[in-house]
């Protein structure tokens, strides 16, 4: 049987050139699309870098080494706790080592505190009072002069103007205010200058500053300067970082110090010492603030039933306070706890059972009741201020 080979698939030269041209055109289009994608990636990278710059991301490596590039409520509480301990050590050291009398130190503090201090002046001075009042004075300075005022430069006038600009922007658009604030903090000072520190203290605690500079000292003591710088670092962490809380970057933080003598509010203050009056259900008041509280200010969500211009304030950290009864001011001291019950009466002498009979026994019992009477048992502190005799 003869073999007949099949004819090969042969195309003409014109068809071959046509197919080759189409392949070349398709390859060029794919290459063009690849170049377009690379160009888009470069644009996206540039936009991301620009957004990071506007948010102050480049500044994080220089001025925000603690806490990373974002700040949350937990990191705020940790930093505030460290600053609070530093203030407490300074106040205790002043009370322990300063040669001035406690009355003189307390008088200087009360001259600088803006609240009504008439109730404090009427009680004897103690070391505990002076230490806690020192903490209250520095808490007011940190709150009003450092945290609630954006410190960008070494000029108080410029900083006050920048703070007003931020408040205006926040009222218009919180997002714009957030970007402006972070971009502004890129150029903020690293630490307060000595002149700036003195100016801050002169505005908030002038009498205490004169007290600390007595004896030829040219400026405030080094521990106080260190507290001011630490407070500025804490403020810069609050205002110059992204807020990772609640998924919102449109918030900013403000500090508050409860007024002396105001009623304790559990939503705003936290007692650092046990309050016996509150445990008995009685009303107690703020004796001193040892560290200011922090609130996060945000604009209301769309649809919220709030007036125009109102803001939402969320307490991040309650103000740390000491009550009046713990400081020994604001009324009589707390009642002592109930004492031990009275012991049994002494035994009757033998003559009580003499020939006098029953009448002598009654008379002797009456004499025992008069001469050996014990004081009444103290009232039992029941719930919600109720006082009654304990049930036996």
Question: Within a domain: residue 26?
Answer: no
Residue 354 lies in a domain: no
> pLDDT per position in the chain (392 positions), as tens?
555 556 556 778 888 888 888 888 998 999 999 899 888 888 888 887 777 666 555 444 444 444 334 567 788 888 999 999 999 999 999 999 887 788 889 988 988 887 777 778 778 888 999 999 999 999 999 999 999 999 999 988 899 999 999 989 888 888 888 888 888 888 888 888 999 999 999 999 999 998 888 776 778 889 999 999 999 999 988 887 665 444 455 678 899 999 988 888 888 998 888 788 877 888 888 889 999 999 988 877 766 666 666 778 888 889 999 988 888 876 544 444 444 544 544 554 444 444 445 455 445 545 544 444 444 433 333 333 333 333 33
Give the integer Cα–Cα distance in Å for 222 and 94.
12
Domain total in the chain: 1
Query: Phi, psi (5° rounding) for residue 297?
Result: -100, 125
User: Exposure pattern of 170-180 as b/e (b: 16+ CB <10 Å)?
Assistant: beeebeebbbb
Q: Report pTM.
A: 0.65
pLDDT of residue 372: 41
Strand partners, 291: 320
- Identify whether 372 is part of a domain: no
Q: Does residue 138 belong to any structural domain of this protein?
A: yes
- Look up the domain containing 82 and give its range: 73-327
* Position 303 in a domain: yes
User: How far is it, in rounded angstroms, from Cα 53 to Cα 179?
Assistant: 10
* Distance separating alpha carbons of residues 147 and 141, to the nearest angstrom: 9
Give residues with Cβ within 8 angstroms of 217, minimum separation 6. Answer: none
Does any domain span residue 100?
yes
The answer to whether position 141 is within a domain reads: yes
């Amino acid at each position: 049987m003869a073999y007949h080979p099949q004819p090969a698939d042969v195309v003409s030269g014109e068809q071959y050139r046509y197919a080759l041209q189409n392949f070349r055109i398709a390859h060029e289009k794919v290459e063009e699309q690849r170049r377009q994608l690379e160009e888009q990636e470069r644009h996206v990278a540039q936009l991301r870098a620009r957004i990071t710059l506007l948010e102050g991301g480049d500044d994080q490596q220089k001025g925000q080494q603690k806490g990373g590039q974002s700040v949350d409520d937990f990191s705020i509480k940790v930093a505030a706790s460290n600053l609070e301990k530093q203030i407490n050590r300074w106040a205790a050291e002043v009370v322990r080592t300063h040669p001035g009398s406690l009355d003189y130190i307390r008088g200087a503090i009360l001259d600088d505190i803006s609240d009504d201090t008439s109730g404090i002046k009427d009680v004897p001075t103690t070391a505990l009072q002076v230490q806690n009042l020192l903490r209250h004075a520095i808490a007011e300075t940190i709150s009003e002069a450092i945290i609630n005022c954006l410190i960008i430069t070494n000029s108080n006038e410029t900083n006050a103007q920048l703070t007003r600009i931020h408040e205006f922007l926040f009222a218009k658009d919180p997002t714009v205010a957030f970007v402006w604030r972070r971009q502004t903090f890129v150029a903020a000072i690293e630490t307060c200058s000595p002149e700036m520190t003195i100016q801050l203290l002169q505005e908030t605690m002038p009498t205490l500053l004169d007290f600390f500079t007595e004896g030829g000292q040219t400026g405030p003591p080094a521990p106080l300067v260190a507290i001011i710088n630490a407070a500025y670092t804490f403020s810069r962490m609050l205002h110059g970082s992204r807020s990772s809380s609640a998924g919102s970057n449109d918030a900013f933080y403000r500090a508050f110090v409860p007024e002396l003598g105001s009623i304790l509010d559990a939503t705003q203050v936290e007692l650092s010492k046990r309050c016996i009056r509150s445990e008995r259900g009685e009303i107690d008041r703020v004796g001193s603030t040892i560290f200011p509280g922090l609130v996060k200010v945000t604009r209301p969500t769309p649809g919220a039933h709030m007036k125009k211009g109102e803001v939402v304030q969320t307490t991040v950290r309650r103000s740390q306070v000491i009550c009046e009864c713990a400081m020994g001011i604001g009324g009589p001291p707390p009642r002592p706890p109930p004492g031990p019950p009275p012991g049994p009466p002494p035994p009757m002498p033998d003559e009580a059972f003499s020939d006098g009979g029953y009448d002598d026994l009654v008379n002797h019992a009456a004499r025992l009741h008069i001469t050996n009477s014990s004081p009444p048992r103290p009232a039992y502190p029941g719930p919600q201020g109720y006082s009654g005799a304990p049930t036996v």
